[in-house]
Amino acid sequence: MAFNATVTINEVPVTIFRKLYEIESRPLGVAILVLFAVTYASFVLTKSSPEAKVPFVGLELGSLSKRKKKYVTDANALLKEGIVAGQRFYTELCDFKDDELSFKGSISDLFATHYTGVLISDDLKELAINRDLTPGMARLTETLEDEVNYIVGKEIGSCKEWKAVIMNKATQNIIASVTARSFVGMDLCRDPDWLRISVDYWMDAFAAAKSIKFWPVFLRPIAARLMPQPARMHATRQEAQRLVVPVLKKRLDAMQNDPDYQKPDDIMQWMIDRLGDKAGTDEELHHQAHLQLALAMGAIHSTNFTLLHEMFDLAAYPEYHEPLREEYREALKSTGGILTKVTLNKLLMLDSFMKESQRYNPPGLTNGRRKTLKDLVLSNGTVIPTGSNIELPAGAVNADPSIYPHADEFDGFRFYKLRKRSEDDMNKHQFVTSSRDSLNWGYGRHACPGRFFAVDEIKVILSKILQSYDLALVDPAAGRYKNSSFETMVIPDMEKAVMFRERAV
Ligand code: HEM
Ligand SMILES: *[C@@H]1O[C@H](CO)[C@@H](O)[C@H](O)[C@H]1NC(C)=O
Ligand SMILES: *[C@@H]1O[C@H](CO)[C@@H](O)[C@H](O)[C@H]1NC(C)=O
Ligand SMILES: *[C@@H]1O[C@H](CO)[C@@H](O)[C@H](O)[C@H]1NC(C)=O
């Protein structure tokens, strides 16, 4: 049983543990808990981690570079081989505290934050999102709709006859604008410079992290000064300050001096209000600019990919269009013709379609990345050594036929039918639900806090598109556009177009 291997994530040596635990009632290779032990000691490049005392997958591939290559091009195969453990361990892992099993620690490894300056801030989640954005969603629906009408009109536009729109930039621009409207308001959401940096920062962060992790640990401080990518990150933060600080100052000034000033309803304003007197200090002005950039980095990329997958699925499965339109018309009628949060909550079929699309095309084959800061002992005595990075097998759970019957079939109303079964089920299978059976938003304390916003945002966009346009694949006979993969990422085909034609209203 015992054999060892090391592969890497982003140039960091990673050991994939195999058969750590018993298989519970799930089929082999599906109910798995994937444990990646990451260690920086260079001997791990060639050997397994001695303290881990567990077997690994992939050694049969031979050299380290072959194992790396396999991970980059076909992580799915390695993951399927990977470790086996019951889903009960997910819950157990959730019980560890942040100083034992750390979300920040894993992000810090992923983005080499020490060198790239990627911000990991509790303010983002606790203040901006949990306390203000999510509870504020009811007020934001109208704003979302307004910006969606504007940007969809701009990106897809008028088309009396069928026209092909390459989705590449369109989804990105739609998401960047709608997100910015809710986060930084009218002041910046149509500013091309802000839109550009809020979209590019994510890619830049990956490139910068990669450029650093290429070097051995002891050379990284020097590399960080010499490589152009980290410098670019710094320049972007400077640009964010140049754009955001004047807007903050303008708002603070109006709040003090203009008795008729109507405060915008967006994250930037809520943060200002929370800060009170401190808001105008240089330190806070700079921090707020950086925070907005970090927020955009977390919010735009993942929603962009999700929207793109959903557009492809909508185009590929035209049989869903009419039921979804009908559902929207009914919901809108029930709220007096005005689109509100209540209307969105009534779109159960759309919610189901979106969740099925995500099950089929998850953001990653693994997620819920955490780093152990102590040796952790699981209930059956297994030790996960300090410094390990752990991820949950979201992709394998999505494909598990014991959880999702006919898991390999796309059934857009799968979750709708589940929710209709009983009152209890009504709340269990929403798109926003994160559970052991649905790990695509992550799991536990750090499950994506932005998902309530993202789901409403996408619902407004898709509803607008469905009401305004017919849509189709360029070549329906060829079927839904294939995804590609890089490491554990599932990537929609960036070059593909969707056909649109305006509907008679
Ligand atoms: C469809 C779009 C999105 C997807 C698929 C997604 C997915 C995820 C995932 C998988 C995680 C990690 C969870 C874990 O490790 O357990 C996460 C974390 C996070 N997401 Fe999202 N996300 C999306 C949209 C957003 C949006 C719109 C925002 C901001 C409003 C956001 C803000 C965050 C933040 C701040 C975290 C870190 C949470 C923490 O510190 O505990 N995300 N997201
Ligand atoms: C959005 O998705 C498109 C298509 O896959 C891609 O070309 C673009 O780089 C993405 N942008 C971001 C910020 O993720
Ligand atoms: C964990 O439990 C399984 C089955 O109960 C067992 O095979 C495995 O050896 C256990 N691991 C440890 C470290 O005890
Ligand atoms: C990616 O897209 C294809 C469509 O060609 C689909 O069959 C597959 O399930 C998708 N998801 C993943 C994780 O590859």
Q: Which residues of the chain have pLDDT under 70?
A: 1-57, 64, 68, 80-88
Closest CA to 84 of 20, 2, 35, 15: 20
Tell whether ligand 4 has an atom less than 6 A from the beta carbon of residue 361: yes
- Contact by Cβ (8 Å): 434, 91: no
Give the count of beta carbons closer than 10 Å to the beta carbon of residue 245.
Answer: 15
pLDDT at 54: 52
CA 120 to chain centre: 15
- Compute the distance between CA of residue 299 and CA of residue 448 in angstroms, rounded to an integer: 10
Residue for token pair 């959730």? 94
Q: Choose which residue among 113, 358, 448 to substitute to test ligand 1 binding: the one with the highest number of ligand atoms within 8 A of its C-beta.
A: 448
* Stated length of the chain: 505
Q: Nearest 5°: CA angle at 390, between 387 and 396?
A: 165
Tell me the per-residue pLDDT of 399-450, one tens digit each, with 9 for 90 and over.
Answer: 989 899 999 999 999 999 999 999 999 999 999 999 989 999 999 889 999 9
The two structure tokens encoding residue 271 = 């943060």
pLDDT at 291: 95
pTM of the model: 0.89
Tell whether ligand 1 has an atom less than 6 A from the beta carbon of residue 68: no
34-38: strand order across its sheet: 7-9, 12-16, 34-38, 389-392, 367-372, 101-102
Q: Choose which residue among 166, 171, 172, 300 to substitute to test ligand 2 binding: the one with the highest number of ligand atoms within 8 A of its C-beta.
A: 172
Give the count of beta carbons closer than 10 Å to the beta carbon of residue 477.
Answer: 5
Q: Dihedral of CA 447/450/453/457: which sign? A: negative
The top-level CATH class assigned to 104-363+410-484 is: mainly alpha
- Contact by Cβ (8 Å): 328, 145: no
Residue type, 2: A
The two structure tokens encoding residue 496 = 């593909």
3-class SS at 273? helix
- Contact by Cβ (8 Å): 307, 357: no
Give the count of beta carbons closer than 10 Å to the beta carbon of residue 414.
Answer: 20
pLDDT at 86: 57
- Cα of 22 from ligand 3 centre, angstroms: 6
With 0-12 / 13-18 / 19 or more C-beta atoms within 10 angstroms meaning exposed / middle / buried, residue 352 is buried
The closest-lying atom of ligand 1 relative to the alpha carbon of residue 122 is 40
pLDDT at 26: 28
pLDDT at 85: 52
3-class SS at 68? helix
CA 314 to chain centre: 20
pLDDT at 82: 60
The two structure tokens encoding residue 163 = 């026209």
Tell me the per-residue pLDDT of 67-115, one tens digit each, with 9 for 90 and over.
Answer: 767 777 777 777 766 654 556 677 788 888 999 999 999 899 889 999 9
The closest-lying atom of ligand 2 relative to the alpha carbon of residue 492 is 5
Tell whether ligand 3 has an atom less than 6 A from the beta carbon of residue 1: no
pLDDT at 57: 67
